[in-house]
Amino acid sequence: MDIQVVINTMIELFLILILGYGIAKLGMIDEATNKKISALVVNVSMPALIIASVSENIGNGSMKEVISYLIWGSVFYGVMVGLAWILTRLMGTKEKQWGTYQFMLIFSNCSFMGYPVMESIFGTEAIFLNSIFNIPFNLLAFSYGIMLISKDGEEEARFELKKLINPGIIASVIAVFLFAIGWKLPSVICQTFSLVGNLTTPLSMLVLGASLSMVPVREIFREIRVYPMTILRLIILPLITYSLMSLVTDDIMLVGIATLTAAMPVASMSVMLSNQYKGNTKLASIGVFISTLCSVVSIPLVAEFFARFTGL
């Protein structure tokens, strides 16, 4: 296992975040522009990434293995929804922040940060299986996730059913359909989706940095409930996941993918969706920033813990 790969990934994320913060402070990105970039990520680059990640892996792995990982991924996120509902209330979170905190506990940065960590432990096969395991992530984030984000709107924005018909959901359904029938998109189309999808991570981190630039520095560290949420997100949830998954399956890779998915920091998507659906962008930005900062230490520790206990 190459921990340096994990550390390098963290550094890359933070450098892009700092760049976003800096260019916003210089006036190159204002609030209106930030929201437009968020819309571009949510409606264009992220859907493209979803289709590309699945299309590129069609034909890999046995159908039995694929179905197994898809089912376990669905169970994993179902349990996360229940745990997030309970933990948010045990934390004493304000009712107007319940939706955002639940989103932050359910959804992690399991792609850009997750892929290199999985690969460093299990090899390249883990990237494909991780993408299958997290197909429910996309379906849930663009449906239930939007409902959660919409609840916390500072302008009392109400959730509307039509918000469920969005590019993210459409892309997720298309990806599942393509995989189910085993049809791989033509290479030129797949590469186009991949190129556009690769914009997601840098644009997301730029938006996060720009969003943080609009929050007074003292407020970033004064949101006290972000800290117990971060401990739950980075330490407690992966330990719970490892314990439960170890009881129900002997598939070490499946246990590892589930555990490390749970160990990732808050998904940067929370900021994109908050901008898009008028949610609590400030809280989402603080949650992503603090959890990503702490994950520089926690992820290598969790990865080392897993490697030692499984003998990898």
Among 207, 227, 54, which residue's Cα sits nearest to residue 139?
54
pLDDT of 159: 54
Distance (Å, whole) CA 122 – CA 139: 26
pLDDT of 293: 83
Domains of the chain (ranges; CATH) run 3-310 (1.20.1530.20)
Distance (Å, whole) CA 306 – CA 51: 30
Q: Which residues lie below 8 Å from residue 166, measured CB to CB, with a gap of 6+?
A: 42, 43, 142, 146
- Tell me the per-residue pLDDT of 215-240, one tens digit each, with 9 for 90 and over: 787 777 888 899 999 999 999 999 99
Q: Which class for 22: exposed (0-12), middle (13-18), buried (19 or more C-beta within 10 A)?
A: middle
Distance (Å, whole) CA 171 – CA 138: 9
Residues 218, 221, 227, CA angle at the centre, nearest 5°?
Answer: 170
Q: Which residues lie below 8 Å from residue 193, measured CB to CB, with a gap of 6+?
A: 48, 49, 51, 52, 55, 185
DSSP 84-146: HHHHHHHTT--GGGHHHHHHHHH-B-TTTTHHHHHHHHH-THHHHHHHHHTHHHHHHIIIIIH
pLDDT of 125: 65
18 membership: H or E segment, kind and range:
helix 3-25
- Tell me the per-residue pLDDT of 249-306, one tens digit each, with 9 for 90 and over: 888 889 989 999 999 989 888 888 888 788 888 899 899 889 888 888 888 888 877 7
DSSP for residue 266: B
Distance (Å, whole) CA 263 – CA 104: 12
Distance (Å, whole) CA 106 – CA 66: 22
Helices and strands counted in the chain (H then E): 18, 0
pLDDT of 59: 63
Instruction: Name the amino acid, one letter, at 216.
Output: P
DSSP for residue 216: -
What is the pTM assigned to this prediction?
A: 0.80
pLDDT of 71: 92
Distance (Å, whole) CA 58 – CA 41: 24
The residues of the chain scoring below 70 in pLDDT are 1-3, 5-6, 57-62, 112, 115-116, 119-120, 123-125, 127, 153-164, 309-312
- Taken as a whole, the chain contains a residue count of 312
For the record, the structure tokens of 16 come out as 């892009």
For the record, the structure tokens of 61 come out as 């792995």
Distance (Å, whole) CA 25 – CA 19: 10
